[in-house]
Amino acid sequence: MTSWHILLGWDVILSLVTPFIVAAVLFLLEKHGPLATALQRPSQLVGPYFTAVAILFGLFTAQLMNDAWQKESAAWQAVRTEDDTLRALIQLARVNGQPVLLPLIKTYAVADAKEDPHSQEARDTTDRAYEALVDNLTHAQTVDGSVRSFELTTAAELRRARDRRLALTDDTTASIKWFTVLILGALTQIAIMLVHTGSRSAVTVSVSLFTVAFAFCLVMVAIFDMPFETVMSTEPGTTLNTTIKTL
């Protein structure tokens, strides 16, 4: 289970606090800023004037949240595929009388489980363990060609699953997406405030309600768009360690 100190990382806290800071600044400017007098006079602006900004924020955020949830699902699928493929290789080695494979599989699994995806040295260690495993499978003399071919196919699927997981980890667009939501949300806050100028209570209520929704969107993006940094920060170690115990 994910601990609270992981979910409440600096990025999540920043996502929660930033919209309220923007709202507080807008309230302060509306009350005491150089444009306070103009902003407190009744305005001829009506709702449709800020609709375009709000729709843009809503559409972008909806698409982004869909991508974030798909990324989280893809991350779990990659981890589970790695685990399932490792279990399949272990079973194949036992059924086909290849005990020499088990230490090699364990070496790879241990390296993969404790691998720091941000460390090239750790990745190289896992790669070497994988190459040693595949080399042994390729030159195995105790099994026929069809079994060897199936084992190599299974090993290739193991590599593809790891590559998919690392590709998700290497995604550098999360911060750009977060910043884009922040900018669009702040613009929508300003638009809502301008529409309700002349009525301080309307400004306070409407901007505050939107700010809560704005903060929620930012927090969800921060959590689910980087799954291996938040909700899956202990993976694939937790899942693979269960399999390693069977060796």
Taking alpha carbons only, the member of 185, 180, 176, 200 closest to residue 21 is 185
pLDDT of res. 3: 45
Does residue 147 lie within any of the structural domains? yes
**Residue-wise pLDDT tens digits, 185-194:** 999 888 888 7
Does residue 52 lie within any of the structural domains? yes
Asked if 223 and 65 touch (Cβ cutoff 8 Å), the reply is: no
* Whether the predicted pLDDT of 50 surpasses 90: no
Taking alpha carbons only, the member of 153, 154, 126, 136 closest to residue 100 is 136
Split into its structural domains, the chain has a count of 1
Does residue 247 lie within any of the structural domains? no
Does residue 203 lie within any of the structural domains? yes
Asked if 191 and 214 touch (Cβ cutoff 8 Å), the reply is: no
Does residue 229 lie within any of the structural domains? no
d(CA 223, CA 65): 10
d(CA 207, CA 228): 33
Taking alpha carbons only, the member of 88, 94, 82, 60 closest to residue 188 is 60
pLDDT of res. 34: 65
Q: What angle do CA 85, 91, 131 make, to 5 degrees?
A: 55
Structure tokens at 242: 């269960």
d(CA 143, CA 140): 7
d(CA 244, CA 240): 6
Question: Is residue 247 helix, strand or coil?
Answer: coil
Does residue 57 lie within any of the structural domains? yes
Does residue 239 lie within any of the structural domains? no
d(CA 198, CA 14): 31
Taking the whole predicted model, whether its pTM rises above 0.85 is answered as: no
**Residue-wise pLDDT tens digits, 108-167:** 999 999 998 888 999 999 999 999 999 988 887 777 888 888 989 999 999 999 999 999
Q: In whole angstroms, how far apart are CA 173 and each of 178, 212, 227?
A: 9, 24, 13
* Whether the predicted pLDDT of 225 surpasses 60: yes
Does residue 198 lie within any of the structural domains? yes
Which range marks the domain in which residue 146 is found?
4-221
Taking alpha carbons only, the member of 242, 241, 223 closest to residue 233 is 223
d(CA 219, CA 230): 11
pLDDT of res. 33: 62
pLDDT of res. 79: 94
d(CA 118, CA 138): 30
